[in-house]
Amino acid sequence: MRLMDTLRRLPAPVTAARLAAETGVSSRQLYRDIATLRAGGALIDGEAGVGYRLIEDAALPPQSFSQLEIEALVLAVGDLSRIGDAELETAGRSALARIIATLPDEQSRQAVHTVLRSFRPPAARETLRVDMALLRRACWEERALNIRYRDLKGQITQREVWPLGISYSDHTLMMLVWCCLRHDWRIFHVSGIEDAQLSGGRFRPRRVPLLRDYVARLQRERARQPEPKDML
C-alpha cells in the first residue's frame, strides 16, 4: 500500500532510490515489491536505473469530483493548520496530493487554482505533554491506556481508560474515554494528561457499542431538560 501510494503521489518517473527512501525499504526489497505488484495486476511501467510510473487500469472509471467538492477538500485540508497537530496536517496534505494525482487533467487544474482558501491563524491551544500519535493509535486499535491525569483543580490520579474518540474545538482538545476506575464515561482535557502508556489490555469490539450508548445517554438527558419558556 505504501509503495502504491508513493507511486501515485510523486511525479513520474520515480527512481528506485527515491521509492526505497519513501517507503523505508532497501533497493533490493523494492525491486521485489515492484515484481510482486506487477504479478498482482498492477500496471507499473519502467525499470531499474530509469524510473517507474504507475499506469492506472484503463478498465477502471477515473476518479471524479465536482468543482465544489474539490474546493471543499482543499479548504478542509488547508484548515488543518489551525489544529496545531503537524502530523495530522501532513497526513491531510499527503492524502490530498494523492487524490489530485488521480483526477482528470481539468479537475486537477481546478484543484491547483481553487478560489476558496483558509488563512485563519492557528488557534491558541493548551500545551500538550502527551504524544498525540499514541492517543490516535490507542483509539484506532482499541487498546487500553494507563494515564496520569491532572484535573482542573490540580489533583492527580492514575487511571486505566479505554479511549473512544478525540474532539477538537477552537481552544481545547478533548478525549472521550471509558474510565475503568469509575466504570463510566469521562471527557478529559488532553492537556491534563501528563503521561500515557499502553497498558497491554484491549477492549475490542467495545468501542462502537460504548459510543452508541454514550450518544443514547446524551439524547435521554436532553429529552429530560425542560423546554425553555417563550420570552416576551
123 pLDDT band (50/70/90 cuts)? low
- Residues 218, 136, single domain; the answer is yes
Q: What's the rounded mean pLDDT across residues 192-198?
A: 95
pLDDT value at residue 6 = 83
- Angle (CA) 224-230-232 rounded to 5° is 160
Q: Do residue 38 and residue 91 come from a single domain?
A: no
Span 129-165, pLDDT tens digits: 899 999 999 999 999 999 999 998 999 999 999 999 9
> Are residue 184 and residue 208 in the same domain, yes or no?
yes
**Cα distances (angstroms) measured from residue 165 to each of 10, 92, 115, 184, 208:** 32, 18, 33, 15, 10
Residue 60 maps to a domain? no
Number of domains in the chain: 3
CATH number, position 211: 2.30.30
Whether 31 and 78 map to the same domain: the answer is no
pLDDT computed for residue 124 by the predictor? 64
Are 50 and 72 in the same domain?
no
CATH number, domain with residue 29: 1.10.10.10
**Residue at 14 is within a domain:** yes
Specify the higher pLDDT residue, 84 or 196: 196
What would the mean pLDDT of 68-75 be, rounded to a whole number?
A: 92
Same domain, 95 and 47: no
**Residue with the larger pLDDT of the pair 194 and 228:** 194
Percent of the chain scored above 90 by pLDDT? 39
**Domain range enclosing 106:** 67-112
Based on the fold, state whether residues 155 and 193 are members of the same structural domain: yes
Out of 53-57, 80-84, 177-181, 202-206, which region has the weakest mean confidence (pLDDT)? Answer: 53-57
Whole-number Å distance between alpha carbons of 228 and 61: 53
